[in-house]
Amino acid sequence: MVPTDRDPANRKGADDALRDSEERYRTLLRVIPVPFCIVDAEGVLVYMNDRFSRMFGYTPEDMHTLQEWWVQAYPDAAYRAWAMETWDADMKRAVLEGTDILPREYRVTCKNGDERIEEISGIILGDQFIATFLDVTDRRLVEEAFREANRKLNILNSITRHDILNQLMGLNGYIELMKMKTKDPELLGYLKKEESAATAIQRQIEFTRFYQDIGMTAAEWHDVEKTIATSIQQLRPHGITIDLHVAGLEIYADPLVEKVFYNLMENSLRHGDHVTRMEFTYTESADGLVLVYHDDGVGITAEDRKRLFQKGFGKNTGLGLFLSREILLITGIVISENGEAGKGVRFEVRVPKGAYRFRHH
């Protein structure tokens, strides 16, 4: 006799297997080491694990009161509207592209009213999605404390720098008076050295003004084409053809990255001698992305290339390329120059994976 599904023994075995499978599934959900919840297509919370309960103060018994948990999680109406609109847009993008919902930070209110900063991401499963939570509150508090400390230090630096520059102005004035009152060649030689020293001090003080701003603001995504276009508007180069082949490219960098592109083009105008063309392109490889800047000027000699990014090297202040390197290094981006003397400069900006992306139209 062939066993069938109607056989009581077979049916009991299938039921036992199903119960075992469900129990293993529930156990797995309980022990997953991150807070998460499952939300259905109507936005109703249908499951929470223990870590979610401990983080937000809710228990599984509370779920019947959490039909509008997102309203309780974002009690501020304006912020809730933004959060839900953003989350819906991320979900639609994830469905369209067949990817998970990428992490994004939200301010979430716990059952007891405490507010936490959570990095929420999601996995779509049919008509439900699993939302996972990473608490970054303490990290953000530490970052904010550092920013506040740096802000106060910057204020102190600004005041100190202003006072020093005022003193230098007075010193230069007295040097000029001394030069007018003496014809002694030896004394004039000493005054010239004093004047050079005062100028060097002023350049060093001005350097601190630029350098203190690096890293003060959190890195963010920059549209490379728009950022370069802004620099071009500031430079207003005449008679120069500038080709931008970087449409859709974004890089994760310090907000001062605009100064990097500005400095590269300004150096071409200042030192390139006969520059008529500038170009930005990029290539992608397994190691990341290389953003290339090239002009058709006189280029850089092999000897100068060795010191190109050193502080103080250059025909002007000697700070531009040094600062550019420091700005880029904040997010792991490396700049180098490997052009050929007489054939223009070629700066390569190497962007690691994770620090660049392409905007979808």
Q: What is the pLDDT of residues 238-265, one digit of tens each?
A: 889 999 999 999 999 998 899 899 999 9
Q: What is the pLDDT of residue 122?
A: 86
Q: Which CATH superfamily is domain 220-358 in?
A: Histidine kinase-like ATPase, C-terminal domain (3.30.565.10)
pLDDT surpasses 70 at 216: no
Share of the chain above pLDDT 90, in %: 36
For 335, the token pair is 């700049």
pLDDT tens sequence across 37-73: 888 877 778 888 888 998 999 888 887 777 778 888 8
pLDDT surpasses 60 at 129: yes
The amino acid at 81: A
Higher pLDDT pick, 30 / 139: 139
3-state SS, one letter per residue, for the chain? CCCCCCCHHHHHHHHHHHHHHHHHHHHHHHHCCCCEEEECCCCCEEEECHHHHHHHCCCHHHHHHCCCHHHHHCCCHHHHHHHHHHHHHHHHHHHHHCCCEEEEEEEEECCCCCEEEEEEEEEEECCEEEEEEEECHHHHHHHHHHHHHHHHHHHHHHHHHHHHHHHHHHHHHHHHHHHHHCCCHHHHHHHHHHHHHHHHHHHHHHHHHHHCCCCCCCCEEEEHHHHHHHHHHHHCCCCCEEEECCCCEEEEECCCHHHHHHHHHHHHHHHCCCCCEEEEEEEEECCEEEEEEEECCCCCCHHHHCCCCCCCCCCCCCCHHHHHHHHHHCCCCEEEECCCCCCCCEEEEEEECCCEEECCC
Q: How far apart are the C-alpha atoms of 192 and 185, rounded to whole Å? A: 10
285 falls in which pLDDT band (50, 70, 90)?
confident
Mean pLDDT over each residue of the chain, to the nearest integer: 84
Q: What is the pLDDT of residue 197?
A: 87
Q: Which CATH superfamily is domain 32-135 in?
A: PAS domain (3.30.450.20)
Q: What is the pLDDT of residue 344?
A: 93
Higher pLDDT pick, 116 / 63: 116
For 342, the token pair is 């007489």
